[in-house]
């Protein structure tokens, strides 16, 4: 079984995807982490020169991404936390708009889905990566609530930032993801749309579970 979950930043996709994967003994693939890994490698090797697409593609081709449970490894280095920094978040859409980078990662994501029952979350899963997925969900939420959720996470890590700044960053990221030519964030016609505004993880999970149980 293949389950695709798409949606904008902070809509709760990864938390829900992990919960579904655990409950249905499926594998979870965090495709955002893969784009983040490339951005992280570019920052390490080239600084913030994200205007050089040819060099970014070279770096992407030389990067081996591996998942072990909740940990993410990039060329055998554990980068689980490093890929979540605000700097990496800011630059990930710079690598994600490059066609060759997307082609490379999409091929790896499809390969992954060949051998596993998967729950995959991202921006282009239902539209590009797994257009034949058994179930497609599109999770959305009011931008202010998404920013509040993100602020709570950052505050817990001691990375406090003003709500307005976080909201602006989320809006910029969404705009970049929606407006790029390759693999933009889209709500496909056959997706089940769930607005997570004001809902707990448990409520969203129960709503999705009804559809999954029907499809099983
Ligand atoms: O899901 P997450 O917020 O970690 O994704 C980080 C960024 O990676 C997104 O803002 C987007 O630019 C990119 N991404 C993508 N396609 C995916 C998953 C993530 O372009 N399937």
DSSP state of 24: T
Residue closest via CA to ligand 1's atom 4 equals: 32
Read off the pTM.
0.96
Q: Quick one: which atom of ligand 1 is closest to the CA of 109?
A: 21
Residue spans of alpha helices (H) in the chain: 13-23, 31-46, 53-61, 86-96, 99-115, 143-156, 163-179, 201-215
State residue 101's pLDDT score: 98
Could you please report the per-residue DSSP string of 151-186? HHHHHHTT----HHHHHHHHHHHHHHHHH-SSS---
Percent residues over pLDDT 90 in the chain = 91
Same domain, 162 and 122: yes
Least-confidence region, from 4-13, 113-122, 150-159: 150-159
Q: How many CB atoms lie within 10 A of CB 199?
A: 16
d(CA 4, CA 31): 11
Last residue of a domain, one of 91, 116, 141: 116
To test ligand 1's pocket by mutation, which of 12, 34, 123, 133 has the most ligand atoms within 8 angstroms of CB? 123
Count of structural domains, the chain: 2
Average pLDDT taken over every residue of the chain: 95
Last residue of a domain, one of 116, 132, 163: 116
Q: Which residue range is the domain that position 122 belongs to?
A: 1-26+118-216
Ligand 1 centroid, distance to 110 Cα (angstroms): 16
Q: Is the reported ipTM for this assembly greater than 0.95?
A: yes
Q: Quick one: which atom of ligand 1 is closest to the CA of 93?
A: 12
Same domain, 8 and 40: no
CATH of the domain at 209: 3.40.50.300
State pLDDT tens for residues 164-203: 999 999 999 999 999 999 999 999 999 999 999 999 999 9
Same domain, 128 and 111: no
């Amino acid at each position: 079984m293949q389950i695709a979950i798409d949606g904008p930043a902070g809509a709760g996709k990864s938390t829900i995807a992990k919960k579904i994967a655990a409950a249905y003994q499926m594998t979870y693939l965090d495709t955002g982490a893969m784009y983040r890994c490339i951005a992280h490698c570019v920052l390490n090797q080239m600084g913030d020169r994200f205007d050089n697409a040819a060099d970014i593609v070279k770096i992407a081709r030389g990067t081996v991404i591996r998942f072990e449970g909740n940990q993410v490894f990039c060329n055998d280095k554990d980068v689980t936390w490093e890929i979540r920094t605000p700097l990496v978040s800011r630059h990930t859409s710079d690598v994600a708009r490059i066609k060759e980078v997307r082609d490379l990662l999409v091929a790896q994501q499809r390969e992954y889905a060949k051998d596993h029952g998967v729950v995959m979350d991202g921006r282009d899963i239902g539209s590009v990566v797994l257009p034949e997925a058994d179930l497609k969900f599109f999770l959305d939420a009011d931008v202010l609530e998404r920013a509040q959720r993100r602020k709570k996470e950052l505050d817990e890590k001691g990375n406090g930032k003003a709500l307005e700044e976080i909201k602006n960053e989320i809006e910029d990221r969404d705009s970049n993801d929606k407006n790029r030519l390759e693999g933009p964030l889209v709500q496909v016609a056959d997706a089940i749309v769930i607005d997570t505004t004001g809902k707990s993880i448990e409520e969203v999970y129960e709503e999705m579970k009804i559809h999954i149980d029907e499809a099983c």
